[in-house]
Amino acid sequence: MWGIIPFGEGLAITDFSMGILYTVALSSLGVYGILFAGWSSNSKYSLLGSLRSSAAMISYELILSACILIIILLTGTLNFTLIIESQQSIWLIIPLLPVFILYFISILAETSRTPFDLQEAKMIWLYIFLYAGKSLIFIYTIWL
């Protein structure tokens, strides 16, 4: 994947003409890993959990792809080098600041960062409440 990203003028390993499409395709492969991990445990509950996580990742990737599509339509190319060269006069982040904010939020959601990690937080607290003693529940409610 790093072979298509230019690090400077003339410092790309390869100048792939469809670099954006290649990057989006490779980043979407993580959905299969989550789905197959839930399926391979041979439990219907883990399969349902992996389906839920896969659906969440696909919905976040749709927002990411829409933001990238706006950049593609604005520059008219899928090549990373040409997209970078099209920003000689003005950076694309300046006229597309709302798109960048949406892209940044979707990246946070894709990587399960703080406001979007509530699914995992709920599962942890459910584990604590189900398997801990009543004294521990009492202590946790005092801390909250």
Q: How confident is the model at residue 119 (pLDDT cuts 50, 70, 90)?
A: low
**What pLDDT score does 44 carry?**
85
What residues contact residue 40 under an 8 Å CB cut-off, 6+ apart? none
More confident residue, 81 or 15: 81
Is 84 exposed, middle or buried, given 0-12, 13-18 or 19+ CB atoms closer than 10 A? middle
**What pLDDT score does 133 carry?**
59
Q: Give, in order, the Cα–Cα distances in Å from 118 to each of 14, 43, 46, 112, 122.
A: 40, 23, 18, 9, 6
**What pLDDT score does 121 carry?**
61
- For 65-79, what is each residue's pLDDT tens digit? 999 999 999 999 998
Identity of residue 96:
L
Encoding tokens for residue 140?
């946790």
**What pLDDT score does 74 carry?**
93
CA 14 to chain centre: 25
Q: How many residues does the chain have?
A: 144
Q: Give, in order, the Cα–Cα distances in Å from 59 to each of 26, 100, 107.
A: 16, 18, 12
Identity of residue 114:
T
Q: Could you tell me what percent of the chain has a pLDDT over 70?
A: 80
More confident residue, 21 or 5: 21
Q: How confident is the model at residue 62 (pLDDT cuts 50, 70, 90)?
A: very high
**Taking a C-beta distance cutoff of 8 angstroms, is the pair 55, 89 a contact?**
no
